[in-house]
Chain A
Amino acid sequence: EPEVTQTPSHQVTQMGQEVILRCVPISNHLYFYWYRQILGQKVEFLVSFYNNEISEKSEIFDDQFSVERPDGSNFTLKIRSTKLEDSAMYFCASSGGGGTYEQYFGPGTRLTVT
């Protein structure tokens, strides 16, 4: 069964450092998303991406964040200068269509900022 994959599974970084989280969406999917979940809290939407551009972004997704699809398979989330409050699980998701289509989540990257 096709699945979304993410690397690394755990990333530890120091405050102010840049991190890149990587995702390989399901191969025939066209819509890509990043969500995050701070420990003990609910899953929150960060950004959606379609046709090589951002479709929508949340208030959390400020100028420190960027996304890219550098090739035909990878989808990345970059945090330029990490803060302590960026510590969270980051989930990538993909969907075969926008709107009412179901989204499938990767296993997540646990980001710890020290």
Chain B
Amino acid sequence: RKEVEQDPGPFNVPEGATVAFNCTYSNSASQSFFWYRQDCRKEPKLLMSVYSSGNEDGRFTAQLNRASQYISLLIRDSKLSDSATYLCVVNGDTDKLIFGTGTRLQVFP
């Protein structure tokens, strides 16, 4: 089983749509969970940390289910500028980050 697994997409959605990404991780000892955004040939940029209680930042909502080792990201009211690759990231037993392969999102007008 891959350490962090994501659907690669692409997800093609119209502006204004709601889209959800899912991710599973294999190491039950992981303590920290993040969503990063990566534009083509750019660095990963932290979108949000993910907490057990779930958290929301504007149009973005992240959820964590430790029992199922499952993380989700919901984007409401998609904008053209949301087009990017969304990376599910967890830490291992230490502070090294383990990245998924990413889910590509394309928002069209």
Residues of A within 8 A of B (CB): 31, 33, 35, 41-45, 48, 55-56, 58, 89, 91, 93, 95, 98-108, 110
Contact = CB atoms under 8 A, between A and B. Distances in A.
Chain B: interface size category: 20 to 34
A81 to B, nearest CB: 25
B43 A107 contact: yes
Majority secondary structure, A binding face:
strand
Interface stretch (B19-27, B61-69, B90-98): B90-98
Given A42-B101, A43-B99, A102-B49, A56 B87 contact: no
A3 B103 CA distance: 25
A105 B94 CA distance: 18
Contacts, number: 60
A42 B94 contact: no
Contacts of A101: 32, 95
23 contacts: A33-B97, A42-B101, A43-B44, A43-B87, A43-B97, A45-B98, A48-B94, A48-B95, A55-B95, A56-B95, A58-B96, A91-B43, A91-B44, A95-B95, A98-B94, A100-B91, A101-B32, A101-B95, A102-B34, A104-B46, A105-B44, A106-B43, A108-B43
